[in-house]
Structure 1
Amino acid sequence: MTHKKMKVIKFGGISLSNGIGIDNAIAIIKKKIKKGEQIVVVASARGNTTDQLEQLLEKAARGSAYKTALENFKEEQQQPTQNADLSVEFLRLENLLEAVFLLKDCSQKIKDEVLAQGELLAVKMLTSLLESSGITAQAIDARQLLVTDENFGNASPIEALSKEKVLACFNKIDKNVVPVVTGFIAANIKNETTTLGRNGSNYTASLLANYLAAEELQNYTHVNGIYTANPDLVKDAKKIAQLSFAEANEMANFGATILHAKTITPLLEKNINLRILNSFNLEDQGTLITSESNQKGIKSIAVLNQVALINFEGRGLLGKVGVDARIFKALSDQQISVSIISQGSSERGIGLVVDAEKATEAVLALEAAFEMDFYTKDVHRISVIDDVAVVSIIGQDLNNFHHPFNALIKNQIVPLLFNNTITGKNVSLVIKKADLHKAVNVIHGQVFGVAKKVNIAVFGKGLVGGTLINQILENAKAVLDRRKIELKIFAIANSKQVLVNQDGVSKDWAHQLENQETTKLGVETIIQFAKTHHLENLIAVDNTASADFVSNYLPLVSAGFDLVSSNKIANTNSFSFYKTLREALKEHKKEYLYETNVGAGLPLIDTIKLLHESGENITRIRGVFSGSLSYLFNKFSSADIPFSTVLQEAIDLGYTEPDPREDLCGNDVARKLLILARELDLENEFEDIHIENLIPPAFRETSSAKFLSSLADLNAVFTAKKQAQKEDHVLRYIGDLSGDLFQNKGHLDVKLTSVPVSSPLGSLKGSDAIFEIYTESYGEQPIVIQGAGAGAKVTARGVFGDILRLAKNNN
Structure 2
Amino acid sequence: MQINVLKFGGTSMADHKTWKQVLQIIQKYEWPVVVVSATARTTRQLVEAAHLASKGKLDEALEISKSIQERHHKIVEDFLDENPHGKNKLIKDSCEKNTAAKISKLNKLLTYTERQNKLTPQMKDAIAAMGEQISSYLLAQCGLALDMMTQHIEARKLIKTDAEYGKANPNRLLINQHCGSLETVLDSGFTPIIGGFYGEAPDKTITTLGFEGSDYSASLIGGAVGAETIEIWTDVSGVYTGDPRFIPEAKPLSEMSYFEATEMAYFGAKVLHPSTLKPAQERNIPVLVKNMFNPEDSGTRIVRESENDLDVLALSFKENIATVTISAYETVMGYSFLTRVFSVLEKHRLAVDAVNTTEASVTIALTDEEILDELSKELIEVGTVRIEKNKGLLTLIGCSLYAANDLVEKIFSVLGETKTDMISFTKEKRILNIVVNEAELVKVAKKLHTKLF
2:336 equivalent in structure 1: 322
Equivalent residues of 2:323, 2:364 under 8 A apart: yes
Aligned-pair distance for 1:144?
A: 1.3
Q: Does residue 1:29 correspond to 2:60, yes or no?
A: no
Q: Which moved more, 1:251-260 or 1:115-124?
A: 251-260
3-state DSSP class of the match of 1:322?
A: helix
Aligned-pair distance for 1:168?
A: 4.1
Q: Which of 277, 294, 301 lines up with 2:315 in the alignment?
A: 301
3-state DSSP class of the match of 1:25?
A: helix
CA distance in 1, matches of 2:445, 2:208: 32
Equivalent residues of 1:41, 1:181 under 8 A apart: yes
1:560 equivalent in structure 2: none
* Per-residue Cα deviation, 1:726-763 (whole angstroms, up to 9, x for no partner): xxxxxxxxxxxxxxxxxxxxxxxxxxxxxxxxxxxxxx
2:259 equivalent in structure 1: 246
CA distance in 1, matches of 2:9, 2:410: 34
Equivalent residues of 1:242, 1:289 under 8 A apart: yes
Q: Which moved more, 1:274-283 or 1:356-365?
A: 356-365
Q: Which of 330, 341, 346 lines up with 1:332 in the alignment?
A: 346
Equivalent residues of 2:267, 2:395 under 8 A apart: yes
* Per-residue Cα deviation, 1:45-94 (whole angstroms, up to 9, x for no partner): 11111011112112211212223332122100222225123222111101
What amino acid does structure 2 have at the position aligned with 1:140? Answer: I
Aligned-pair distance for 1:334?
A: 2.1
1:112 equivalent in structure 2: 125
Q: Which of 335, 356, 366 lines up with 2:368 in the alignment?
A: 356
CA distance in 1, matches of 2:45, 2:289: 26
Q: Which of 17, 35, 51 lines up with 1:20 in the alignment?
A: 17
Q: Does residue 1:231 correspond to 2:226, yes or no?
A: no
Q: Which of 385, 388, 398 lines up with 2:388 in the alignment?
A: 385
Q: Which moved more, 1:229-238 or 1:307-316?
A: 307-316
Equivalent residues of 2:414, 2:451 under 8 A apart: no
3-state DSSP class of the match of 1:147?
A: coil
Q: Which moved more, 1:14-23 or 1:131-140?
A: 14-23
Q: Does residue 1:420 correspond to 2:425, yes or no?
A: yes
1:9 equivalent in structure 2: 6
Equivalent residues of 1:256, 1:303 under 8 A apart: yes
1:599 equivalent in structure 2: none
What amino acid does structure 1 have at the position aligned with 2:356? Answer: S
1:78 equivalent in structure 2: 73
CA distance in 1, matches of 2:344, 2:136: 41
1:343 equivalent in structure 2: 357
Aligned-pair distance for 1:143?
A: 1.3
1:657 equivalent in structure 2: none
Aligned-pair distance for 1:316?
A: 2.1
Q: Which of 379, 382, 400 lines up with 1:366 in the alignment?
A: 379
CA distance in 2, matches of 1:440, 1:104: 42
CA distance in 2, matches of 1:349, 1:171: 58
CA distance in 2, matches of 1:230, 1:191: 38
Aligned-pair distance for 1:103?
A: 2.2
1:41 equivalent in structure 2: 34
* Per-residue Cα deviation, 1:161-180 (whole angstroms, up to 9, x for no partner): 22112224544553410001
In structure 2, do the counterparts of structure 1 residues 19 and 339 end up closer, same or farther at CA, with 3 Å as the change threshold?
A: same
3-state DSSP class of the match of 1:321?
A: helix
3-state DSSP class of the match of 2:65?
A: helix
Equivalent residues of 1:310, 1:384 under 8 A apart: yes
Equivalent residues of 1:241, 1:288 under 8 A apart: yes
In structure 2, do the counterparts of structure 1 residues 349 and 408 end up closer, same or farther at CA, with 3 Å as the change threshold?
A: farther
Task: List 4+ stretches of structure 1 deviating above 6 A.
Answer: none
* Per-residue Cα deviation, 1:359-388 (whole angstroms, up to 9, x for no partner): 223223323xx2xx5xxxxx2x21211111
Structure 1, unpaired ranges of 5+ = 374-378, 449-811
Equivalent residues of 2:46, 2:64 under 8 A apart: no
Q: Which moved more, 1:395-404 or 1:430-439?
A: 395-404
3-state DSSP class of the match of 1:148?
A: coil
2:82 equivalent in structure 1: none
CA distance in 2, matches of 1:148, 1:317: 44
Q: How does 1:558-577 map to 2 (within 5 A)?
A: none
Name the larger-Rg structure.
1
Q: Which of 442, 445, 454 lines up with 2:450 in the alignment?
A: 445
Aligned-pair distance for 1:331?
A: 1.9
Q: Does residue 1:54 correspond to 2:47, yes or no?
A: yes
* Higher relative contact order, chain-length normalized (CA < 8 Å, sep 6+): 2
Aligned length: 428
Provide the identity percentage.
26
Equivalent residues of 1:138, 1:178 under 8 A apart: yes
CA distance in 1, matches of 2:320, 2:179: 34
3-state DSSP class of the match of 2:69?
A: helix
CA distance in 2, matches of 1:58, 1:321: 43
3-state DSSP class of the match of 1:9?
A: strand
* Per-residue Cα deviation, 1:176-231 (whole angstroms, up to 9, x for no partner): 10001110101111111110012211001011111100010110111111111011
3-state DSSP class of the match of 1:100?
A: helix
CA distance in 2, matches of 1:169, 1:329: 42
CA distance in 1, matches of 2:331, 2:158: 49
3-state DSSP class of the match of 2:28?
A: helix
* Per-residue Cα deviation, 1:447-471 (whole angstroms, up to 9, x for no partner): 11xxxxxxxxxxxxxxxxxxxxxxx
* Per-residue Cα deviation, 1:124-160 (whole angstroms, up to 9, x for no partner): 1110111111111111122111221111000111221
2:88 equivalent in structure 1: none
What amino acid does structure 2 have at the position aligned with 1:351? Answer: T
What amino acid does structure 2 have at the position aligned with 1:353? Answer: A
Structure 2, unpaired ranges of 5+ = 78-91
What amino acid does structure 2 have at the position aligned with 1:442? Answer: K
3-state DSSP class of the match of 1:97?
A: helix
CA RMSD of aligned residues (A): 1.8
In structure 2, do the counterparts of structure 1 residues 10 and 317 end up closer, same or farther at CA, with 3 Å as the change threshold?
A: farther
Q: Does residue 1:432 correspond to 2:437, yes or no?
A: yes
CA distance in 2, matches of 1:337, 1:364: 18
In structure 2, do the counterparts of structure 1 residues 74 and 244 end up closer, same or farther at CA, with 3 Å as the change threshold?
A: same
In structure 2, do the counterparts of structure 1 residues 187 and 244 end up closer, same or farther at CA, with 3 Å as the change threshold?
A: same
3-state DSSP class of the match of 1:418?
A: strand
Equivalent residues of 1:403, 1:446 under 8 A apart: no
1:401 equivalent in structure 2: 407
What amino acid does structure 2 have at the position aligned with 1:42? Answer: V
